[in-house]
Amino acid sequence: MSIEMPIEDASLTQLQHVPIDNVMSIIDEGLVHLPSYRELYYRWERQQWKAQDIDFSGDRTQWLRMNEDEQRMRLGGLSAFFKGEECVTNTLAPYITAMPNDDMRIFVTTQLVDEARHTVFFERFFRDALGVDYGRLEETLAVVERNMGEKTRYILVDALNDVSGRIQREPDNLARLVEGVVLYHVIIEGTMALAGQRGILEVYREQNIFPAFRGGFTAVARDESRHVVFGVKFLRDMIQRDAAQAKVIFNAVNTYARTAIEAVSPPPQQIEFMLANKQDPWTTPRYGVESLRKKLKVIGLSMEIPDVPPPPVF
């Protein structure tokens, strides 16, 4: 089932049935005709949704019917997103202060609100559907974080906190902000998150599981399409303002991209299992690589980026 109405007008219930590639196409369209920062703000006004309105009772019923192995697999795949939303919420404020003009600053302020809403959405899903609740949000996340892989933790926790801290200490240093936007908007959101969201939402839609989560997570992806387009536009504008910023972007991509692609790649034992079952283990990382390549082209940067194997021939 798909919907004919514009995705920006779709309700949470309607978004449950939207193929995630329809949402991802918003980014591709935005990259062809980059909107203004004010238009991105107006999109935010039109695309509001409420985490408190979601009823997870049906998702809870499905969760309780899953065996322990399936529950462990689902929990592991979603934990990085829950922790990631909290990490980006806690590190974005210095970006707002450092933005060069008010239109940029106004939009990034809406992004901070989005990230907080995404964190609340995941907290409610983990508590009301998965039964994961250790009291305070910080205590729940401390447990959830144990499910994250080492490379994912490095990008979302270590690198993001480090870059945000440097922006906070030097808000007038444009190179710090440019590196931060590369990491936040292009690597984390535009490469890792979108690739992971696409894989999870397609599987969940095909298997018709967690319908309430699907609606909310698709709304999250719709929000992040605005963030990613902002990041690409900002970096393109910064290069046009000062060509020296191209080297900053180049160095940041080289620093973070390989680890990010490895973070969304399956571990070796899972690759062997998937190949044995005639499944492509590199669908998600390949999407991430192609997504990164598209964004760098629009930004105006030509460079080699990490690659992954082509689809296997069975």
The whole-number pLDDT of residue 2 equals: 43
- b or e along 86-110 (b: 16 or more beta carbons within 10 Å of the residue's beta carbon)? bbbbebbebbbebbeeeebebbbbb
Q: Please give the Cα distance from 257 to 265 (Å, whole number).
A: 13
160: in domain: yes
220: in domain: yes
Q: Please give the Cα distance from 210 to 4 (Å, whole number).
A: 23
314: in domain: no
Q: For residue 124, what are the domain limits?
A: 13-299
Could you report the per-residue pLDDT of 67-108, keeping only the tens digit for each? 999 999 899 889 999 999 999 999 999 999 999 999 999 999
8: in domain: no
308: in domain: no
Strands, DSSP E only, in the chain? Answer: none
The whole-number pLDDT of residue 214 equals: 96
Residues 6+ apart with CB under 8 A from 167: 94, 95, 98, 173, 176, 177, 180
Q: Please give the Cα distance from 157 to 59 (Å, whole number).
A: 29
Q: Please give the Cα distance from 85 to 202 (Å, whole number).
A: 20
The whole-number pLDDT of residue 8 equals: 74
Q: How many domains does the chain have?
A: 1
Residues 6+ apart with CB under 8 A from 292: 186, 187, 190, 191, 253, 257, 305
Q: Name residues of the chain where pLDDT drops below 50.
A: 1-4
Instruction: Name the pTM for this structure.
Output: 0.93
What DSSP string describes 190-222? Answer: IIIIHHHHHHHHHHHHHHT--HHHHHHHHHHHH
Question: Is 116 in contact with 87 (CB distance < 8 Å)?
Answer: no
DSSP state of 17: T
Q: Please give the Cα distance from 113 to 44 (Å, whole number).
A: 10
Q: CATH code at 260?
A: 1.10.620.20
* Residue 276: CB atoms within 10 Å: 8
Would you state the structure tokens that stand for residue 52, as one six-digit string? 């408190």
The whole-number pLDDT of residue 6 equals: 63
1: in domain: no
309: in domain: no
5: in domain: no
